Chains A and B, each alone.
Chain A
Amino acid sequence: MKAKGWATPYIIWMAIFIVVPLFLVVYFAFTGENGFTFANISKIGQYSNVFLRSIWMGAIATVISLLLGYPMAYMIARIPAKRQSVMIMLIMLPMWMNFLLRTYAWMSLLEDTGLINRLLQAVGLPQVHLINTSGAVILGMVYNYIPYMILPLYSILTKIDGSVIEAAQDLGANGRKVFLRVIFPLSMPGVISGITMVFVPAVSTFIISKMLGGGGNLLIGDLIDMQFLGSAYNPNLGSAISLVLMVMILICMGIMNQFDDGETMEGGMMI
């Protein structure tokens, strides 16, 4: 088909609304009141603890999602095909509910007078302080993003040829060996794409930390929000932080893709 020109309006659109804005971020990051400056970038050093906290929390949330999500994806891939699609829909359904509301629902569960504490009280157990802790933030991240882990893992696990597993068994591998030497290595592209799809939104989130973490768990996202729409209005610094976040993520993705044969995004596509 010769239809090259058909993409032109799209390319113009993306040039204006994706490429130009990115250049604006770079421009703002390197300008101040007196023109070109590195001041914004060097100011980020003050916030290194926020960066470290975001990366740390995002990484923990990603690992927990992987540990919880892998068995789930594996089990779904093992049940009859008809029920698989129902299960996958059940995994996806919560994602389509407004994520502010889902996070808000956790607030009402975790509060000091919330449902979990009431339940504990009713059974006669002491109350636990759950809300406004870093644990609550990580829980919120895992809750919101675990479907992004399960879906790519599932789609890669269903593609594994059953005869490869049978061959391994025929050659004398026990269940554990089959998993460690055959299934897990073959599912690596799904693992990689799951990790990136959880880590990227987790590390750049700003609502979850505000709602579940109280004031003490500031993350990169909150920092950016504050520079653009919050109290500390400073778009130049905000752009610099955004730029660093973006470069950080792109480097992570680049490293991750080294372990992969491509097609990552395809495995990660929803629906």
Chain B
Amino acid sequence: MKAASKVYMALIFIFLYAPILVLIIFSFNDTDTMSRSVFYGFSLRWYKRLFEDRMILIALINTLVIAVVAAIVSTVLGTFAAIGINGMGKKTRKLVMNITNFPMVNPEIVTGVSLMLLFVFISNKIKGLGLGLGTLIIAHITFCLPYVIMSVLPKLRQMDSNLYEAALDLGCTPRRALWKVVLPEIMPGIVTGMIMAFTLSIDDFIISYFASGTTQTLSIYIYSMTRKRISPEINALSTLMFLVIMILLVIVNIRQSADRRALRRKGTEGE
């Protein structure tokens, strides 16, 4: 690689990581003022305060509950949907795929607003059904579903359809064949989809903002702080979140490269 392109790549990475680095450095700032541009020395005080802050902890718990439920439900629903879509005729499949693609193409703010209209509409009709954790979970399942389907469908297409028929010929019921043959084959896609749903849910702000009512998630809490002065507790929190997400991404990547290697091996055996 030429030196010029090395420099260029380095500059882009500096651009991408400089703000994150600043955020992380200032999470260790040893000062009681909320300064975000003078570094006084190293301390863990903001981490300590973070774990004493009840509002942040409640927001964190809400975020995790939503992410776990949304990831599980959207993975189950999405996997079944992908299997169903894979077996559809061309015309129906095209229609369903258009609906699936729509939330990924549509501006997020419009999806958020439209869901809010629905939730407000329903809560006006039926007393006791307000915006909150429930609507947040529904909204998150809705925007995660397309991504699950997008990661499961290619695995279904790659799969040798003879495998399924062989299972049937050997006496499996269709249900058992799906469970014993199809699911293990598409498992990597399912796991990737689930991790994606989980991270998308944790990261989401725009749709949550419109679907939350008064319930706080981390993103919404951070947003309410940006309108006042942000406490470095948030820097500490984001450093921790960054670490968690990094670990998750590394796991996904290792899985995928293991997957690719397995595929390559299969390919050479076939020759």
Contacts and interface: CB of A to CB of B under 8 A. Distances in A.
A98 B19 contact: no
Interface residues of A, number: 85
A97 B196 CA distance: 14
B20 A271 contact: no
A242 B164 CA distance: 46
Contacts of B219: 98, 100
A253 B105 contact: yes
Interface stretch (B46-54, B64-72, B85-93): B85-93
A224 B145 contact: no
B5 interface: yes
A184 interface: no
Interface stretch (A13-21, A41-49, A157-165, A166-174): A13-21
B110 interface: yes
Contacts of A102: 19-20, 23
Contacts of A251: none
Contacts of A93: 245-246, 249
Nearest to B174: A2
Contact of A14 (B22, B100, B164): B100
For the complex of A and B, list the 4 residue pairs with the smallest distance between their C-beta atoms, beginning with the closest: A7-B84, A10-B81, A105-B19, A21-B114
Contact of B85 (A7, A79, A108, A203): A7
Contacts of B23: 101-102, 104-105
Given A75-B8, A115-B22, 14 more contacts: A3-B83, A9-B81, A17-B118, A17-B142, A21-B118, A71-B5, A85-B257, A93-B245, A96-B199, A96-B245, A107-B36, A109-B22, A111-B36, A242-B113
B116 interface: yes
A101 B257 CA distance: 30
Nearest to A90: B13
B218 interface: yes
Interface in B76-133: 77-78, 80-88, 96, 99-111, 113-118, 121
B262 interface: no
B205 A245 contact: no
17 contacts: A1-B87, A4-B87, A6-B87, A11-B96, A21-B117, A24-B121, A85-B253, A87-B9, A96-B199, A98-B238, A102-B20, A111-B36, A203-B107, A204-B110, A224-B110, A239-B117, A245-B110
B209 interface: yes
